[in-house]
Chain A
Amino acid sequence: MKPWLYTIYLKTRLDWRSSEIWITHFLVPIIFFFVVGAVFTAVMPETEETLIPTMVIFTATMGALIGTSGTLLPYTETPTRKSLKAAGIPFSSILLSTFVAGLINLLIVTFFILFVAPLAFNAAHPQSYAVFFGGYFLFLAPTLLVGILLPLLAKDASRLTIYSQAVFLPSMLLSGIMFPFEMLPGALSAIGYILPATHAMMIMTEDAFPIVNLLVLLGFIPALLLLIGWRMHRLLLDEG
């Protein structure tokens, strides 16, 4: 157990040394939160109702898909992966620590938004904190898993950027956090429906768990774990 805990501790510390993490997990989400909060609530006062879930989903999506995935990439490169394997360090410990380190960082910013938004922008509190956090964790888990899967699929930083943006941009535009989901044309709303952010937005703005959205988010987790397991197996089976 101790080596696993130390790996999580080390990965969290290493992430905090990375400027990329400060930018993607903290700086940009917080700056974006203040800008969007100030502009949207001034132009459309009704956005006060959805400001917290919107900003929390944005933070988690950006942090996981762009920040977390970027910090994992160096570990997936062959020389590092081999160095760890030769030392008897399981690669799964790196994946788990990446997940936990991302979770810690994104929770910090989420609590910041939850605390500051009502004070700064008169944002509405969640109707039910249980539903809000239930939906949040069910969304954060698959989003972080996507952030872990992408560097396992991408062979280099440029491909990772393309893959990350290919998931990040639709998550922003088609999930209902920028525009109401109902306003999207049929084909786009169909794409939006396969994104975790869409279901998270639907759950986090309700006072009870919508069962379909809940099941969809729950379904993402084993599917993504299977994909990660398959990629990890492929990577570790043979370096050739």
Chain B
Amino acid sequence: MIKVEGLHKSYGANHVLRGIDLALEKNEIFGLLGPNGAGKTTMLEIMEGLRTREEGHIDIMGHTPAEAVRKGILGVQLQSSSLPEVMTPLDAMTLFCRWRNQEVRTDLLSRFGLEKEMKKPYKHLSMGQKRRLHLALALAHEPGILFLDEPTAGLDVEARVALHEDIKNMKKKGLTMVLASHDMAEVESLCDRVGILVSGRIKKIGSPRAIVDEVAGETIIRVKLATPHEWPVFTHAERHGESAEGHVEWQTEDALEGLLEILGHIKKNDLALLDITLKKQTLEERFIAIAKEDDAE
């Protein structure tokens, strides 16, 4: 459905994208993760036809991004969208629909909870209402592919949950979506596949589960004692760090052996144990680890 090959982009001496290759399937929600400045917005905006590229090829259902915009294949909700202050949601929807030669989609404004705000100037809409308006505008021409750049940034919990439901419903209707977000839980719960973009390259790609499971063998053992203790070096668990709440953490590839070794030490030294937990890495921790690996390189 979307194929990106060898995408490069620089701003002066700053080489932002360094050879992006990507293929997206129909009806997939693809999440794009990356630290600030990784090139997520640049990559999305090139795919949306909003920016030029230096090298590389993008094919969107047989079209270039600019053609895909003209033909109404793409719907785009930008990270920072805006409209003139005096324009109402109804004006905007009418304008957008007229340029697509279609009926005015007031039904979408109602669906996104903007029925009462249809004639309210843009400057008087809340952040959440603006986001929902731009989403409604992006969907007005029923695109096959929807780009969402930080769609829930600045939204309260209620609006965020409502938008997540909308995204899930749009998937059920067959839409393919590309979602850039800083919210790991959002990406984990919504996306079929995730690409982790670091320093202009996609470092990992796969389902959120698969990315986490790459380090499935690794378990974190967290222990909290009543009194400070000088811990020895264990054979089956490697010291990982210490939490702000006073938990000492070990990372182990053999959870059972590691746990037995630590518990054995506690029993042998008659230490007062307050808390002990085992946990797998989350997508967020995995993401941080991948970003750190890149820093180290």
Contact = CB atoms under 8 A, between A and B. Distances in A.
Interface of A: 2-3, 6-7, 10, 13-14, 17-18, 74-75, 77-80, 82-83, 85-89, 237-240
B51 interface: yes
A8 to B, nearest CB: 11
Given A6-B94, A10-B94, A238-B52, A18 B78 contact: no
Tell me which of B74, B84, B94, B101 has the highest count of chain A C-beta atoms within 10 A of its own C-beta. Answer: B84
Report whether over half of chain A's contact residues are helix, strand or loop; otherwise say mixed: helix
A5 B283 CA distance: 50
Nearest to A237: B52
Interface string B78-107: 101111111100010011101111000000
Interface of B: 11, 42, 45, 48-52, 69-70, 72, 74, 76, 78, 80-87, 91, 94-96, 98-101, 121, 134, 137-138
B70 A88 contact: yes
A139 to B, nearest CB: 28
Nearest to A85: B50
Given A88-B70, A89-B99, 9 more contacts: A6-B98, A7-B98, A10-B95, A74-B85, A79-B82, A85-B49, A86-B50, A86-B69, A87-B137
A17 B48 CA distance: 32
Nearest to B134: A83
B61 to A, nearest CB: 16
Contacts of B76: 86-87
Contacts of A77: 82
User: Which interface residue of A7, A14, A83 has the most chain B CB atoms within 10 A?
Assistant: A83
A70 to B, nearest CB: 11
B78 A88 contact: no
Contacts of B87: 14
Given A6-B94, A86-B69, A237-B52, A17 B86 contact: yes
A87 B83 contact: no
B84 A75 contact: yes
A111 to B, nearest CB: 26
Nearest to B42: A240
Residue among A17, A239, A240 with max Cβ neighbours from chain B (10 Å) = A240
A14 B99 contact: no
B98 A2 contact: yes
Contacts of B74: 86
B191 to A, nearest CB: 22
Given A86-B48, A88-B69, A240-B11, A79 B81 contact: yes
Contacts of A10: 91, 94-95
Contacts of B52: 237-238
Given A82-B78, A239-B45, A240-B51, A6 B70 contact: no
Contact of B50 (A7, A14, A75, A82): A82
A74 B91 CA distance: 16
Contacts of A74: 82, 84-85
Contact of B99 (A88, A237, A239): A88
B89 to A, nearest CB: 13
B55 to A, nearest CB: 15
A4 to B, nearest CB: 9
B98 A239 contact: no
B138 to A, nearest CB: 8
Contact of B95 (A7, A18, A238, A240): A7
Contacts of A17: 86, 121
A10 B94 CA distance: 9
8 contacts: A7-B95, A10-B94, A14-B84, A74-B85, A79-B80, A85-B50, A88-B100, A240-B42
A3 B104 CA distance: 12
Nearest to B9: A240
Given A88-B100, A238-B52, A6 B95 contact: yes
Contacts of A3: 98-99, 101
